[in-house]
Amino acid sequence: MTPTELYAYHRWANRRLFDVATALGEEVCGRDVGKQFSFPTLLRTFAHLYGADWVWLARWKGQPTGALPGADIRSMSALRKDCDALSAEQQAFVEALKPVELGREIHYKDTAGNAYHTPLGILLTHVAAHGNHHRSEIATMLTMISGSPPDTGVVTWHRTVSGQLKP
């Protein structure tokens, strides 16, 4: 899977679950589902995905980051606007990459100020894998609230974009 495909999948899977959650309404998305999750509400979990994607894109571009954004977002509709803009910027960045750039070391600090350096290709994979982790939590929350959500697997994405399945 190329980075462009990986991020097309990442965006599709996020939006697929986001749309299911949004259809349940703002009140449901803000409802505390339990402390067993990384973040106790659908809104906070989606906001965390947004914040993590934002901070990693800034790091890849060599920009300062500071704290993870998203904690102050109060609604799914507000979050959607931010997510759509970020997804477009993230996809443009990934599509502009040349294969040789995947080995480029990215030097960054985590939110605690610890310095690291990691090849860009590893970081691209990390962000998508991080998304999978939280999407699994979101899917579990949705199952608890309203029943099992649609599949967000890579094969389902591929079948959808290749026209084998209807979106």
CB 130 within 8 A of CB 9: no
pLDDT value for 70:
87
Give the predicted TM-score (pTM) of the model.
Answer: 0.95
Q: What is the mean pLDDT of each run of 10 residues along the chain (167 residues)?
A: 95 97 97 96 98 97 89 94 95 97 96 94 97 98 96 96 86
CB 7 within 8 A of CB 97: no
> Which phi and psi angles does 150 have, rounded to 5°?
-65, 155
pLDDT value for 101:
97
Distance CA 68, CA 90 (A): 16
| Distance, CA of 63 to chain centre | 19
pLDDT value for 20:
98
pLDDT value for 111:
87
pLDDT value for 106:
98
Q: Where are the beta strands (DSSP E) in the chain?
A: 105-109, 115-119
